Amino acid sequence: MKAKVFIDTNVMLDLLGEREPYYNDIAKIATLADKGEITMIASSLSYATVFYLLSKNESAVKVKEKLRNFKIISEIAQLDDLVIEKGLNSNFTDFEDALQYNCALQSECDILITRNQKNFKNSSIPVMSAKEFLKSIGKK
């Protein structure tokens, strides 16, 4: 069974914004998803956030194309009533992180990939950086 890997917004930004020094590791994960070796999942909230942030420096047309390409190799976790309810009632100090975490749980993800691991310290699933994940599967 292939791993279901949830991609936090900051990691999605690293990939689509080609942000160094993080880009290469998340690009390797995206390649694994493209090859069907893992299932990569991001929340619907991340799409809006990434569009907003990237379009400050790139054209909206270019950013939408990047998001379309990302959507081809990933699945979208829904931000629904239950996720919002759980986020509102969680002990997370960062509401956006609470939403991301509950999206990952609802999507039955095996791992959450983020650069803000300290914000997910009470996670019931493993939380890793992209680099740590690659190392854990012997791809680094």
Question: What's residue 48's pLDDT?
Answer: 95
What percentage of the chain reaches a pLDDT higher than 90? 90
Distances (CA, A) of 136 to 122, 128, 130: 20, 9, 10
pLDDT given at position 40: 98
- 74-91 mean pLDDT: 94
CATH numeric code, 4-136: 3.40.50.1010
Average pLDDT over residues 79-93: 93
By the 10 Å C-beta count (0-12 exposed, 13-18 middle, 19+ buried), 59 is classed as exposed
125 exposure class (CB count in 10 Å sphere: 0-12, 13-18, 19+): middle
Q: With cut-offs at 50, 70 and 90, classify the pLDDT of residue 122.
A: confident
3-state secondary structure the chain: CCCEEEECHHHHHHHHCCCCCCHHHHHHHHHHHHCCCCEEEEEHHHHHHHHHHHCCCCCHHHHHHHHHHHHHHEEEECCCHHHHHHHHCCCCCCHHHHHHHHHHHHCCCCEEECCCHHHHCCCCCCEECHHHHHHHCCCC
User: Percent of the chain beyond pLDDT 70?
Assistant: 99
Mean pLDDT of 26-43: 96
Arithmetic mean of pLDDT, 38-46 = 96
Q: What is the pLDDT of residues 87-112, one digit of tens each?
A: 999 999 999 999 999 999 999 999 99
When pLDDT is cut at 50, 70 and 90, the band that residue 128 belongs to is very high
pLDDT given for residue 35 in this prediction:
95
Average pLDDT (52-78) is 96
